[in-house]
Structures are given as structure tokens and as C-alpha cells.
Chains A and B, each alone.
Chain A
Amino acid sequence: MSEINKYMLIPIVRVPGDSLFHRLHPLTKLAWAVGGVTMAFATRNPLVLGVVTVVGFVLLFMSRVWHGYLRFVLMFFPLSLSLIVFQSLAPAFPRPWVPLASIGPFTIYNEGIYSGLSLLTRAYAASNFSMLLVLTTHPGDLFAALQAIGMPHEINWILMTSLQLIPVVQREFGIVTSAQRSRAMKKRGFGALLPSMVPVFAGTIERVTQLSMSLESRGFGSKGKKTSLRRVRARAFDWVMGIFGVVVAVAVSYFTIANSAALDWSEVTFMPVWLAVVLVVGSAIAFVSFTGYYIVRAARA
């Protein structure tokens, strides 16, 4: 796992490797990412979305880039379970809702379970395929590939810089926190926000100002064709994989949209009542425990 990813909450830097996905053309991987996100938003059916999520995890595992991403997933999974909890109690669906069970003053609705699971699996389905692109692709390669297909140089650069700026800001945040702790700052959580965030943002603004001057001094924005140190060549295999990815994404999306009525299980009790109760209660316990742990930790700091 790359050094930078170890210190980052959200890993968004390429993890060095030689997997099949690492060696694919950046545009092929971009097509897979777009396809994955499209499939994630083409349906609300949790089963379909769950399959897409699992496929994404499998691809991340096979590419050996899942360590840092898994850390993020495990940390935020309890938080994301709140989607199930809150949706179950107040579904994002038009009334009337079908009650499944009551726990004290709370009523669990079938539409809520469906909606919660749908939102949860959609988030991870889209995220998995997006991270597969980010974790296996050098920004420079993606930059060169997008430029080759005619994307404007400036827009291309904005996208690439955004990807690279975030890990820099995260690293800066770690350094600033160390600096303030060296001044006996005990506070964590909200109390530490100001001493920690002001130097980070001020530093970022200064860096961006200087970067823009540096870029102008080095001819950024000049007219004419740009060359690139990094060259990316598409092999036949890249085309095959790209077409395959697009075909699968289009087929799945078409299938789910064309059969949206049949796949809409919101009006069907698709889960045993006992399982629904266990799911909601378990999610609530995990979410409250996770939130409580961080509140207590912040209060003790």
C-alpha cells in the first residue's frame, strides 16, 4: 500500500501494482467506472445493486488495491447503516407505507427497509467502481489519455489537480495537527477544528496562488498542441475490455430500467419480518455505538 494512502482517511492515490486492471488503458477503466455508476443509478433493486457492489469489491480485491479502501469502508459502514435505520422509520417513498413491525414507539416500514438497502448498496456500488479507477490509474496516464481524445487541456488539468490536491491537503492536516499538539492542544473533535483547519486552508490558498503564478510562468494556457511525457497506447485487449464493460453496463442498465416495475420490490414483503427487525435493530446498535464512541472520545479529549 502506498505511503500516502496510509495517512489518508480516504485513499485517492494510485496504489502501485501490476494487476490486470493496473495495466488496462485509462479510458477503458474510465468506461468501467462510468458503467458501474450508471448501473448503480439505473435501479433501486437492492439485490441488483448488491451484486454490482460485490462485483466491485471482487475487482478491487483482484487488483490488490483494497487495503486502504477497506479501511475507509469499515470505518464508515456503521455510519452508512444509519440509512437503513432512518429510512425504515421514515421511508423516502410516497404514502401509504406498509408497516412490518413495531418496536416500542417506532414502526418499521417495508418501503423503508427497501429504500435503506437500496441507498446503501447504491452508494457502495458507485463508490467501488469509481475507486477501482482511482486506485489503479496514474493521474498522468488519465490526463494523457483524455487529452488524446480531445478533452480541453485546461479542464483536464483541473480534474487531475483536484485528485492530487486532496491527498496533499490531507497530509497537511496531519502535519498541522502535530504542530498544534506540540503546543499542548488537547482538544479533539470540534474544539480542535479552528487551530487545525485555518493553517490548512490558508496554506492551500497560498499554495494555489503560487501554483497559478508558477503555471503561467511555465506557459500553461498557451495555444498550440501539448505533448506529454507519459504515453498511453491502447492495445486490442483494452478495446475488448472496454467494449465488454460498456456492453455489460448498458445491458444491465437497460434490463433494470425495462423491468423496473418487476424489480420494484417496495410493495412486496421481500424480507421476513424477523430479518427486517434484526437488520434495523442491528443497524441502529452499530450506528449508535459508532457515533457514541466518537462523541465520548471527543468529550474525553
Chain B
Amino acid sequence: MAENIIVCQDLWHIYPGDIVALHDVSISIPQGQVVGVIGQNGSGKTTLVKHFNGLLKPTKGSVVVNEMDVGTHAVDELSRNVGYVFQNPNHQLFAKTVFDEMTFGPANLGLEEDVVQERAEQALEFFGLDRYRGTHPYRLSLPLRKLVAMAAIYAMRPKVMVLDEPTTGQDHIGMNTVRRLIEKLREEGDTIVLVTHDMVLVAQTADRLLVLCDSELIGDGAPREIFSGDEMMARTNLRPPQITQLSRRIFKPGLPEAALRVSELAEPLAKTL
């Protein structure tokens, strides 16, 4: 089994005013895993992942990322290993052109100029943003700005990428770009943490789901296992993808019990018709 790149041990986070946002969470995430963090609004998802790059420090317990204790390292040190893509791209974009936006992160890491250029070019190419390289980011539509923000973090090549609601507001092409990014990062051995309400995305891409409810971790397992847990899903008021719901409803021998993709159900179902 791959070495753990993120280890949370008895993690608590209490905001001022005694607001318990995380209650005794312990998880270990191995290198190269795609992890979906799901739960209702206010369940603690964003609070949890913000510990990974040091934006939040533990109130109790510890978080260690790539052998660096989050409590004793600054955000800019941790950002070498953990890239965080904010939900609202407007919070990150400031440069005059998309290309300049790509170079900001690698330049902050102190990389050589030719490496910075190369990383920027690769990011533009991967995200299909080459034709926008000279465009001011604020002249782009919101879905495109979101891709620019993701590309800008990708250019830093962190070992862990945290994507906060990556498919919100995206069209079909944008969603596919996000899925391709996840698959490519998985091939490169990177770790991805998805904070999302998009159950289809996590069903199709995640190796593992962490389910948060009222600041507690109530579920940790493969998507098929999590989506099959009726009691847990009811407690979180989350619904599995429609294809999963359908497959569970019409289940009989010869059909998958909890399909995660349409293709998983379509072929065996066609054979029974």
C-alpha cells in the first residue's frame, strides 16, 4: 500500500464562539488516492480540507502532510505539496493575462524561469486554454475562469490537489476537462481531494469517499459501499447518483447492485430485455 501523504489524528477544529466544526476526525490518505469529501453544507468538509494546506490549524489533534506538521508550517511552505483550488475563481485571479496567471504559483516556488515557462505552457495545453493565453482573466466567462484557476494551481505541480466544488457552473466540456484532470493526476501518482456535491463526479472518479455530518466523520469507504448505506445517506440527506438509485431499485441477479456508471447497468440490463 502506498505511503500515507495526509494523516489526520484526532483532529478537532473549534471556531471562535465555541463552534465545533470538526469533531475528533482521524483519517489517513495514501499517495495517489482520489478521495471525495461529501456531506451537507456546514458539515465540516471545507474546514477539514483547509487543514491540508495550513489555512486552518488544528485546535486539537494533528495533521501531517508529506511529513510536514501543518501546525508548525506556514501556508506558503505547505503549498509546495498541497494545491488548493478555491470554489470562487475570482478570489485567485489578478494577473493581466491568463499566461501570467499560470506563472504566478511556480514563480513563488522559486523555480527557474525556463521551468516556470514550461509549467505554464503545459497547464495551458492540458486545460485547453492556449487560445486565451493573452486574455485578461476577467474577460472570460465564469466557467472558463474556473478552469484558469485550476490550471494555475496545476502549474505548481503539487503532490496533493484539493478541488473545492470543481464542477459547479461548468458545462459538459468543462466537466469533462475536470474528469480528465483527475484521471491524469491519478496516472501521475498525485493525490486528489474533491470537496463536492456532485455525486456523479465522485461516483465516477473517486477511489474513496469521506462522509461528514454535523462535524463528524460518519462514513469512510469506496463509493459503492457508501452509496449502498441507506441509513448513512439518509442521515446526511445526500442522494446517490441516479444510476445508482435505479440499479438498487431494479436489482436482480445478473444486474449490478449499485452501479456507478450508466455503462455498468446498461449492458447487463439490455441482455435481460
Listed in ascending order, the chain A residues whose CB lies under 8 Å from chain B are 3, 6, 172, 175-176, 178-186, 194-199, 202-203, 206
B92:A183 contact, CB within 8 angstroms: yes
Contact B109 A178 (CB under 8 A): no
Q: Would you mind naming 23 contact pairs between A and B with Cβ atoms under 8 Å apart?
A: A3-B16, A3-B17, A178-B55, A179-B86, A180-B94, A181-B76, A182-B55, A182-B75, A183-B79, A183-B92, A183-B105, A183-B153, A183-B156, A184-B76, A184-B79, A184-B80, A184-B105, A184-B108, A184-B109, A186-B76, A197-B94, A199-B91, A202-B90
Contact among A184, A186, A196, A199 for B90, CB-based, below 8 A: A199
Output the residue of A6, A180, A195 with the most chain B CB within 10 A.
A180
Which residue, of B83, B94, B109, has the highest number of chain A Cβ atoms within 10 A?
B94
* Complex contacts, B75 vs chain A, CB 8 Å: 178, 181-182
Q: Check if B200 is an interface residue, CB within 8 A of chain A.
A: no
Verify if B203 is at the interface (C-beta below 8 Å from A): no
| A71, chain B: closest CB distance, angstroms | 13
- The count of residues in chain B whose C-beta lies closer than 8 Å to any C-beta of chain A is 24
CB distance from B172 to the nearest CB of A (A): 25
Q: Which of A182, A196, A197, A202 contacts B86 (CB 8 A)?
A: A182
Task: For the complex, give the distance between the alpha carbons of A202 and B91 in Å.
Answer: 9
CA distance A176 to B92 in the complex (A): 6
Query: Would B91 and A179 count as touching, CB distance under 8 A?
Result: yes
Q: How far is B138's CA from A184's CA once the two chains are assembled, in angstroms?
A: 22
Q: Given known contacts A179-B92, A186-B108, what 6 new A-B pairs fall within 8 Å (CB)?
A: A172-B91, A181-B79, A182-B83, A184-B109, A185-B104, A199-B90
Kindly list chain B residues whose C-beta atoms are within 8 Å of the C-beta of A185. Answer: 76, 104, 108
Q: How many residue-residue contacts, CB under 8 A, span A and B?
A: 67
- Report Cα–Cα, A182/B53, bound state, in Å: 7
Most chain B beta carbons < 10 A, residue from A172, A183, A194, A198: A183
Closest to B149 in A: A179
Q: How many Å lie between the Cα of A74 and that of B133 in the bound state? A: 47
For the complex formed, measure the closest distance between the CB of A31 and the CB atoms of chain B, giving whole angstroms: 33
**B150 proximity list for chain A (CB < 8 A):** none
Contact with A along B10-21 (1 / 0, CB 8 A): 000000110000
How far is B135's CA from A119's CA once the two chains are assembled, in angstroms? Answer: 49
Q: Is B152 an interface residue (CB 8 A)?
A: yes
Indicate if the CB atoms of B156 and A202 lie closer than 8 Å. no
